[in-house]
């Protein structure tokens, strides 16, 4: 094996789930703790079982067609995150003092996906005050240089200066009902892998069809809030299923089901381009 191939292997292995390693290190380095049995560390055994479930996904069952899954959910991610009261969610869910409308479940999912994918570019549709874009930009900065977040919003005068100051974050004035305002030249030149996040809930069929033409194998597209029970409609499900099929977008169940089946604001909508 060449040195370059060895480097690639090491880099890939560094992003493998390592929870089970804790038990191995415990046995190796602190055997005296385990003399009375490992019952006191039963939670570690649970981690080991979780690793086995993740291995099952990585073995080929992790990515499934969009139209093969129901939208049943073990619980409603937004209601579970707010105690069922959504009226003051903007005051509760913030980042660095800015509104960030993402359930805690999804923040953990995004943090894990960013670590696993190592994206060069994050595209966000719908910026609101810029809180989530700022969070994404800070996550990207932790991965090293050469990574950027591009956020697209029509009400750009509402974006807070705190978000505008981040050097790896760029806001673009775009009307998603008029896709001529979306810079196609920018999409062509932005480096991959991509993580695309739709939180605009505007003209999704046309926006997704356009963005998907620029995606490459391994890129991710997350459609937030569109398929929650209160907003889902059968025509949208059919249209987006056809789009997912056309552009080879598969549901990554490692992320949709991490906290239980579809416990996320994006049920069945953590999508990876497979070809």
Looking at the fold, whether 150 and 170 belong to one and the same domain comes out as: yes
Looking at the fold, whether 106 and 28 belong to one and the same domain comes out as: no
Instruction: Please tell me which residue, 160 or 9, carries the higher pLDDT value.
Output: 160
Looking at the fold, whether 47 and 172 belong to one and the same domain comes out as: no
Looking at the fold, whether 195 and 73 belong to one and the same domain comes out as: yes
Looking at the fold, whether 27 and 82 belong to one and the same domain comes out as: no
Q: How many domains does the chain have?
A: 2
pTM of the model: 0.87
**In the 3-class helix/strand/coil scheme, how is the chain assigned residue by residue?**
CCHHHHHHHHHHHCCCCCCHHHHHHHHHHCHHHHCCCCHHHHHHHHHHHHHHHHHHHHHHHCEEEHHHCCCCCCCCHHHHHHCCCCCCHHHHCEECCEECCCCHHHHHHHHHHHHHHCCCEEEEECCCCCHHHHHHHHHHHCCCCCCEEEEEECCHHHCCHHHHCCCCEEEEECCCCCHHHCCHHHHHHCCCCEEEEECCCCCHHHHHHHHHCCCCCCCEEEECCCCCCCCCCHHHHHHHHHHHHHCCEEEEHHHHCECECCCCCCCCCEEEECC
Looking at the fold, whether 72 and 49 belong to one and the same domain comes out as: no
- What pLDDT sits at residue 60? 60
Looking at the fold, whether 87 and 167 belong to one and the same domain comes out as: yes
- What pLDDT sits at residue 11? 47
Tell me which of 25-29, 79-83, 228-232 is least confident.
25-29
Output the average pLDDT for the chain. 88
Q: Is 88's pLDDT higher than 90? A: no
Instruction: Please tell me which residue, 187 or 41, carries the higher pLDDT value.
Output: 187
Looking at the fold, whether 162 and 74 belong to one and the same domain comes out as: yes
Range of the domain at 192: 64-273
Looking at the fold, whether 178 and 242 belong to one and the same domain comes out as: yes
Looking at the fold, whether 255 and 125 belong to one and the same domain comes out as: yes
Looking at the fold, whether 29 and 88 belong to one and the same domain comes out as: no
> Last residue of a domain, which of 19, 37, 55?
55
């Amino acid at each position: 094996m060449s040195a370059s191939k060895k480097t690639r292997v090491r880099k890939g292995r560094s992003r493998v789930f390592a929870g089970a390693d804790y038990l191995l290190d415990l046995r190796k380095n602190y055997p005296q703790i385990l003399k009375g049995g490992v019952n006191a560390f039963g939670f570690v055994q649970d981690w080991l079982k979780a690793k086995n479930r993740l291995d099952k996904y990585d073995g080929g069952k992790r990515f499934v067609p969009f139209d093969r899954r129901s939208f049943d959910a073990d619980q409603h991610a937004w209601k579970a995150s707010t105690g069922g009261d959504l009226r003051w969610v903007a005051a509760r869910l913030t980042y660095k003092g800015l509104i960030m409308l993402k359930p805690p479940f999804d923040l953990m999912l995004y943090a894990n996906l960013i670590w696993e994918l190592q994206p060069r570019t994050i595209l966000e549709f719908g910026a609101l005050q810029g809180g989530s874009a700022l969070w994404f930009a800070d996550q990207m900065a932790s991965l090293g240089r050469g990574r950027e977040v591009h956020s697209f919003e029509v009400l750009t005068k509402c974006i807070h200066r705190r978000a505008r100051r981040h050097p790896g974050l760029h806001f673009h004035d775009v009307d998603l009902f008029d896709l001529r305002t979306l810079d196609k030249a920018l999409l062509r030149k932005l480096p991959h892998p991509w993580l695309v996040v739709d939180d605009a809930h505007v003209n999704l069929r046309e926006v997704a069809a356009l963005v998907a033409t620029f995606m490459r194998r391994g890129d991710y597209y997350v459609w937030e809030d569109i398929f929650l029970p209160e907003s889902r409609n059968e025509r949208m499900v059919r249209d987006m299923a056809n789009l997912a099929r056309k552009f080879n977008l598969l549901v990554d169940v490692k992320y949709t089901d991490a906290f239980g089946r579809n416990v996320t604001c994006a049920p069945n909508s953590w999508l990876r381009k497979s070809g």
